[in-house]
Structure 1
Amino acid sequence: MAGLMMAPRMTLAKQAEAKDRIDALMARMTIEEKAGQLNLMNDPFRWRPEGVNPGDRLDSDQAQTAADIKAGRIGALFNGVGAATTRLVQDMAVRESRLGIPLLFAADIVHGLRTTFPVPLGESASWDLELAERTARAAAVEGGASGVHQTYAPMVDVARDQRWGRVVEGAGEDVLLNNLFAAARTKGFQGDDLTHWSSLLACPKHFAAYGAAESGMDYNSTDMSEVMLRSVYLPPFKAALDAGALSVMSAFNDLNGVPTSGNKWLLTDILHGEWGFAGFVVSDYTSEAELVAHGFAADGRDAARIALMAGVDMSMKSGLYLRHIPDLVASGEVPMARVDQAVRRVLMTKAALGLFDDPYRGSDVAVERRVVGSRDHLDLAREAGRKSIVMLKNEGGLLPLPKSGQRIALIGPFGADAADVFGPWSIFKDTDLAVSLEQGLRQALRDPNALTVVKGSDVEAPLPGGIEAAVAAANEADVVLLAIGESSVMSAESKSRVSIDIPAPQLALAEAVAATGKPVVVLLRNGRGMELSGAVAGADSILVTWFLGSETGHAIADVLFGDHEPTGRLPVSFPFRSGQSPFYYAHKATGRPSQPTDQEFTSKFREVPHAALYPFGHGLTYAPIDWSETRLSSQTMAWNGQIEASVTLTNGGDRDVTEVVQLYIRDRVASLTQPVRLLKAFRRVTVPAGKSVEVTMPLTFADVQFMGPDHTMIAEPGLFDVWLSASAQTGQAAQFTLLR
């Protein structure tokens, strides 16, 4: 994509200079100091914005951490921010330790620092890679100005079970979308110069197959074929590394019986051997210590040995490496060469970040004040928010709403809420920057008093008199906005759900409001694909608004009142019922494929079709768009050749709109069964009011390849279906034959 730039590697001269410097350092290091470079601990100094100023009395935790830094027992700190204290803390390492090796400062800057952008899943609904790069760049600018060098992002786990709480952190269920967003976010975080204060070292996570946890339960086991692993779950990591990422985080789960933080095949053979990765692997929070609970290690010492030998270079939080590496080396259980390899990877990455030349990058308070929470970043958050919104339904053209002449009732637990707009993994958010839905609507309306706000219920509990007050407000209104869904504590790490529906108190509220007969617009807050039922599914209009971050209220108002059209498309499927989970569009046909009719003895549940209520890729605009049949430039594709697919889009409305043309294929006969559809490309297209636009997209030989039984990409001659369509469940297929 134009505008996406990879952070360059060090020049050969710089690499040689860094190697010489590191060789000289390592020749002087004791085994304890080497273990220290592999020891990552919480930052107790910069945990609050103002940090700890020179002359402040350190508490016991800070004093112990300071002593460890000065003794060379800590190589990196995480989740502290603040320019004011950066120099103070870095001084402990650079000026007061024996070797003067700078600290690496890391943080969970997942979708913004003080300025918070939409959660990654929401932003992925934009299908806008350039936008994702820009928001990651802005997050890096704020993080870098606050003394951070590395972010634990992007999360690139393909997530096909919406019960899993961490769906919210990634790009959804599709491999291609995950690949492209992984690369865009990596490039955005790292920028075009890793040594600049505004660049953050990207750390794609969680390696690997964490998103396939059984039953969608967080931290659970995963079990799959190597073909599935290499086809679906590894490619986004490779995409991030190809984009320049120099660190990777290992996962919590076990894979086929081997915990991934102790999996040499993953962390060494594939990552460094097959892919040539030159950076370092950091464990997730105590994940190497958890090898004991997995039943894979006897105790902490054994866990340290297994993780280090598997390829985990840096230990997060547990302290096991610091505690056990010297003895493991002395006993011969861990070769010094493996320790040296891990230390060298960490030090070379510090050199790539320019920390040996400028250990105090990000310690300028004036720069921090200028860029953190800047107007430009807030404007970007508003743009990202509105581009992330997906319109699922709009019966009778209810939306957009006029800004005057209607009385509006805003009902639901998220109407006036400003505390929960940020979503999970927004630990550095600035609550003063939060724009609630109520605030955004009132500012957009010509008469702010035309809006009545009633909570109606809490997120997971009824309110005394809440429904009665909501019904009264609805009866007085011309249209109801129902702000319902999930809170951020329902869609996050360790927040897996058995049933991905709207909580019962909110469903009761929706039913009561619907009974008034007033037009209802559902404004859904969520971090996953959801089951929509009853009055929620039956609402006149439904907007998926995710967790949109700092500018939530303004972003929703922009779309609701038509200043901007809805352009988002679903990155995850919304099933009919929770019991379909895991449901994803790229499933296999089976030997008894599901049929449109209610036919017995086919692959389906008794109660619902084998389909999504709202499929992957779905999203409506503010104008009716007619799609022609897919046309192909040829009925055959030569081996190593390509053909073109075309479709005509006609706008039957009176405003310009944006469509996302999605190219899917199906390999009808293959030596390994293939998905019923698979996304291969997409294009955002503007269709002017009353006009037609022809869209032509290439279909290449690479697009018809798949992972073969020997784990290499292969193609086989035969018949293929092709769709240019608005979602994974729409359109009529054209066909071509691949010739050898």
Structure 2
Amino acid sequence: MMKQPAELLQLMTLEEKIGQLLQLAAPFFQGADGQITGPMAEMGITEETVRNTGSVLGLTGAEDVINVQKQHLATNRLGIPLLIMADIVHGYKTIFPVPLAIGCSWDLELAEQSAEIAAKEAAAAGVHVTFAPMVDLVRDPRWGRVMESTGEDPYLNSEFARAFVRGFQGKDLVNDVSRVAACVKHFAAYGAAEGGRDYNTVDLSERQLREFYLPSYKAALDEGCEMVMTAFNTVDGIPATGNKWLMRDLLRGEWSFDGVMISDWGAVKELIPHGVAANEAEAAIKAIRAGVDIEMMTTCYSDHLQKLVESKEIDEALIDEAVLRILELKQKLGLFEQPYRGANAQLEQELVSSEAHRNASRELALKSCVLLKNDSVLPLNREQKIALIGPFAANGDILGPWSWLGSKDEAVQLAAGIGSKIDASLLSVTEGCGIETATEEQLKAAIAAASEADVLVLALGEHSDMSGEAGSRSNIQLPQVQLELISKLKQLGKPMVAVLFNGRPLDLHGVIDQADAVLEAWFPGTEGGAAIAELLFGESEPTGRLTMSFPYSVGQIPVYYNRFNTGRPQGAPDAQVRYVSQYLDIPNEPLLPFGYGLGYTTFKYSEAVMAADTMSASEPLQVNLTVTNTGTRAGEDIVQLYVRDMAGDVVRPLQELKAFKKVMLQPGESKEISFTLEEQQLRYYHADLTFASDPGEFELYIGPNSRDVSALKFKLSK
């Protein structure tokens, strides 16, 4: 009979315990063929270290996983299986749109399905844990990792966090070997890095941290997420990986999280360059005291913890509790009874990139694209001659960062997608320029093709390496050669559609003012070209809505919808023209607001009506309105409800998203939409960090985005 984790712990030597706290990348294990990212260093790893190691990063493929696990079980004294972990962020082999794009779908069911499919493919390939979801709130598009978040709103991020965890983990990790454990990241506030520069300092008040940045992590944990990954950044002057208040007091104490905490790659040793540890031994002390259970890819624990215990600088009980949490996760995954768990080479072959999975990827790509502009150019006419021009016209680099095992060669390029819709004689395809370089020959070929066409479709964007981890950029316009291509083609006077492939909100000057239509496709995944073609020809309706504001210029950043007012707000009735909070050369408002997106039809909202203009803790507020499709096509709109607390204990945002509802309407059809607003939705963190609502006046806003709203007033009574 298998021993329970607590019994097994009693049999382990100190060296074996410390081994469970180390995570090594796949190449350290014989026969593994894994891909690793980040800095590699001479680590002084011995065979004994590998035999005692508790988990492996980046190992995949059913046959390799089974072989490595079999070898490990044969050499590990107590036969403790490895945990196999990997970055399955937005798909395993079938790649879905990047998470920021998934956020723009506002579709929680499809988000959950994407995680479920990723889990099925990864589990069949032998993976036990995915380093996802990333739920960091993001406000600065210079930061490359905004592509890995679902946006700038804590409520919406929390809902997506829950959906991803449900998709990855299912309801029963022990018996359902087609699911994987989720690891929410990066705890905490990684998305608030100064200057949008990756790994950089974060400095927030505790109230702001709790109000905006922590809710999505808490939502993931409330949904049962099994693991948490530390962030690279500081929190209140202390790196997260050594932050006792953050990990012990908040996460494990206040939130009662008893799962596994893992560092990000090398983050324990990085306490030294951060300047809070003088050496590796001190880094190990601070991390283990903070509650970090697994050290990823540095050896501060394995090199120093035993001596630190022997010298009584740390209590062995700290190591015991970390090991116990790791063993309990292995038990929860059923690894002691099924060390190979879901690894199945035949099933892996059947599942990865299956037709059903690719269809699901295409559906989510359809929902994730956002139509930003359309001056009566879209949908395209199948009888038109189309010149498809640009560096992404026939480019498979549309999967985006963190697509790990996704194949660019198997991705549906835009040229193939459009080519499947019209006669070959009506389509010409040319690059026009590279992503960052251009030749005279490329430009001449593009102008020649455009001159013969009825409409131009420009496929533009960023290389996938221009966003993602370490993909920070100070200039978030399209590369200059692409802006020049647009300008030259504009001179031909042809209708022009821009399709954008990118991982962040861009400064769209030179694009949105030149093109007649702009479709934000993000990095749309394996079926991207097919999905975009469906949208361009009107076979499907664009329904995506932005979950991150698009700046007017980089000088505004950070710019976000749920901002605070000032004592001298621009536009106030008694304000002087100059002495208000404003820029002299650009608007305060973003170019495109949170929640924004167009379709091929139009909608009209009736005046919203409240059942009463007062609510209380026992009497919610009911709000009703009618939405009518006033266009000639069927379409879907996302009705958004925002609230403002007019006078709080501390300054409250000008708007906060509290609810949304999707409505699908045929031409001329109307439907009544009803919202129920409850008192707990009005609670916030006060100056003393109590979480409560305040009686008083509120404004409620309803509209298709955060900008174009109508307002109602109501009161919250005691």
Which TM-score band (shorter chain)?
A: over 0.9
Partners of 1:454 and 1:263 in 2: how far apart?
A: 53
Structure 1 spans left out of the alignment, 5+ residues: 1-16, 53-60
Paired with 1:474 and 1:559, the residues of 2 have a C-alpha distance of 22
What's the offset of the Cα at 1:709?
1.7
User: What amino acid maps onto 2:141 in structure 1?
Assistant: Q
In the TM superposition, what is the alpha-carbon distance from 1:448 to its structure 2 partner? Answer: 2.3
What residue in structure 2 maps to residue 100 of structure 1? 79
Q: Deviation string for 1:163-204 (max 9, x for gaps)?
A: 111000011111111100001001100012212221111001
Tell me how far apart the structure 2 counterparts of residues 63 and 488 of structure 1 sit (CA, whole Å).
34
**8 A contact 2:373–2:512 mirrored in 1:** no
Contact kept? 2:145, 2:467, Cα under 8 Å: yes
1: CA distance, partners of 2:542 / 2:31: 38
Higher mean C-alpha deviation, range 462-471 or range 554-563: 462-471
Cα offset, 1:51, TM superposition: 8.1
- Mapped to 2, the partners of 1:423 and 1:332 lie a distance apart of 48
The residue correspondences of 1:643-662 to structure 2 (distance < 5 A) are: 643-662=621-640
Contact preservation (8 Å) 2:97, 2:368: yes
Give the 5 Å matches for 1:493-508.
493-508=469-484
CA offset at residue 63 of structure 1?
13
Deviations 1:638-670 (A, max 9, x none): 344211122222211122110001110011111
Deviation per residue, 1:512-534 (Å, 9 max, x gap):
11111111111011111111113
Partner of 1:251: 231
- Which residue matches 1:223? 203
Q: 1:487 aligns with which of 460, 463, 468?
A: 463
Matches within 5 A, 1:334-413: 334-395=314-375, 397-403=376-382, 405-413=383-391
Aligned to 2:39: none
- Which of 517, 525, 538 is 1:549 aligned to? 525
Match of 1:433 among 382, 392, 410: 410
| Equivalences for residues 44-83 of structure 1 within 5 A | 44=27, 68-70=49-51, 72=52, 74-83=53-62
- Does residue 89 of the first structure (1) align with residue 72 of the second (2)? no
> What amino acid is aligned across from residue 367 of structure 1 in structure 2?
L
What aligned pairs does 1:134-149 form with structure 2 within 5 A after superposition? 134-149=113-128
- The corresponding residue for 1:3 is none
Q: What SS does the corresponding residue of 2:75 show, helix, strand or coil?
A: coil
**SS across alignment from 1:204:** strand
- In 1, are the aligned partners of 2:617 and 2:678 still within 8 Å (CA)? no
Offset of residue 361 of structure 1: 1.3
- The residue correspondences of 1:595-614 to structure 2 (distance < 5 A) are 595=571, 599-614=577-592
1:157 corresponds to 2:136: yes
Classify the secondary structure of the residue corresponding to 1:431. coil
* In 2: Cα distance, 1:417 partner to 1:35 partner: 47
| Cα deviations by residue, 1:534-577 (Å, 9 ceiling, x for unpaired) | 34433111110000111011010111111110010001001111
| Matches of 1:471 and 1:595, distance apart in 2 | 46
Match of 1:520 in 2: 496
The structure-2 alpha-carbon separation of the partners of 1:719 and 1:328, relative to structure 1 and needing over 3 Å to count, comes to same
Q: Give the secondary-structure state (helix, strand or coil) at the position aligned to 1:203.
A: strand
Residue 208 (str. 1) matches residue 188 (str. 2): yes
CA RMSD of aligned residues (A): 2.0
Residue by residue over 1:434-491, the C-alpha shift from the partner in whole angstroms, topping out at 9 and shown as x without a partner, is 111111110122x023111111111112223322322222121111111112111111
What does 1:313-352 correspond to in 2, within 5 Å? 313-352=293-332
Conserved in 2, the CA contact under 8 Å of 1:499 and 1:578?
yes
In structure 2, what is the equivalent of residue 115 of structure 1?
Answer: 94
Aligned partner letter, 1:130: E
Match of 1:693 among 650, 660, 671: 671
Tell me the TM-score normalized by structure 2: 0.96
**3-state SS, counterpart of residue 488 of structure 2:** helix
Matches of 2:508 and 2:695, distance apart in 1: 42
Alpha-carbon distance in 2 for matches of 1:288, 1:485: 36
Cα distance between partner residues in 2 of 1:532 and 1:48 = 48
> Compared with structure 1, are the counterparts of its residues 149 and 62 closer, same or farther at alpha carbon in structure 2 (3 Å cutoff)?
farther
User: d(CA) in 1 for partners of 2:30 and 2:355?
Assistant: 25
Tell me which amino acid in the other structure corresponds to 2:19. Answer: G
CA separation of 1:426/1:66 partners in 2, compared to 1, >3 Å: closer, same or farther? Answer: farther
What fraction of aligned residue pairs are identical, expressed as a percent?
A: 44
Paired residue secondary structure (1:223) = coil
Task: Indicate yes or no: 2:701 matched with 1:723.
Answer: yes
Query: Which of these residues, 520, 543, 546, is aligned with residue 570 of structure 1?
Result: 546
Q: Partner residue of 1:559?
A: 535
Q: CA deviation at 1:62?
A: 14
The residue correspondences of 1:597-676 to structure 2 (distance < 5 A) are: 599-676=577-654
Amino acid aligned to 1:424: P
The one-letter amino acid paired with 2:249 is: D
Q: In the alignment, which residue of structure 1 is the partner of 2:557?
A: 581
| Aligned match of 1:307 | 287
User: Could you report, residue by residue, the CA deviation over 1:17-47 in whole angstroms, capped at 9, with x for unpaired residues?
Assistant: 98x6122211111111001000000012789
Distance 2:255 2:18 in 1: 26
Say whether 1:277 aligns with 2:253.
Answer: no
Which deviates more from structure 2 when the two are superposed, residues 135-144 or residues 642-651?
642-651
Name the CA shift for 1:65/1:429 in 2 (closer, same or farther; >3 Å).
farther
Separation in 1, partners of 2:32, 2:369: 32
Greater Cα shift, 383-392 or 591-600: 591-600
Please give the secondary structure, in 1, of the residue aligned with 2:658: strand
1:430 Cα shift? Answer: 2.7
Query: Which secondary structure does the structure 1 equivalent of 2:558 belong to?
Result: coil
2:20 is aligned to 37
Could you state the TM-score of these two structures normalised by the residue count of structure 1? 0.93
Report Cα offsets for 1:207-250 as digits up to 9, x if no partner.
Answer: 00110001111111011111000011111000000111110000
Q: Given residue 159 of structure 1, which amino acid in structure 2 is its aligned partner?
A: V
Matched residue count: 709
1:736 aligned onto 2:717: no
Give, as a single letter, the amino acid of the residue that structure 2 aligns with 1:26: L
1:241-277: CA deviations, max 9, x gaps?
0111110000000112100000011111111101111
Q: Do the aligned residues in 2 keep the contact of 1:717 with 1:739 (CA within 8 Å)?
A: yes
Within-5 A mapping of 1:194-205: 194-195=173-174, 196-205=176-185
**How has the CA–CA distance of structure 1 residues 46 and 401 changed in structure 2, closer, same or farther, with 3 Å as cutoff?**
farther
Deviation at 1:421, TM superposition (A): 1.0
Alpha-carbon distance in 2 for matches of 1:489, 1:343: 37
1:582-626: CA deviation from partner (whole Å, max 9, x where unpaired): 000000111111229993222221122211111110011111112
8 A Cα contact 1:629 1:731, kept in partner: no
The aligned amino acid for 1:473 is A
Tell me which residue corresponds to 2:5. Answer: 22
Match of 1:677 among 640, 655, 678: 655
Q: What is the SS of the residue equivalent to 1:601?
A: coil
- Give 3-state SS (helix, strand or coil) of 2:591's partner: strand
What's the secondary structure of 1:613's corresponding residue?
A: coil
- Within the alignment, does 1:288 sit opposite 2:263 as a pair? no
Aligned-partner Cα distance in 2 for 1:525–1:635 = 45
Distance of 1:535 and 1:658 partners within structure 2: 26
Larger mean CA deviation between 557-566 and 708-717 belongs to 708-717
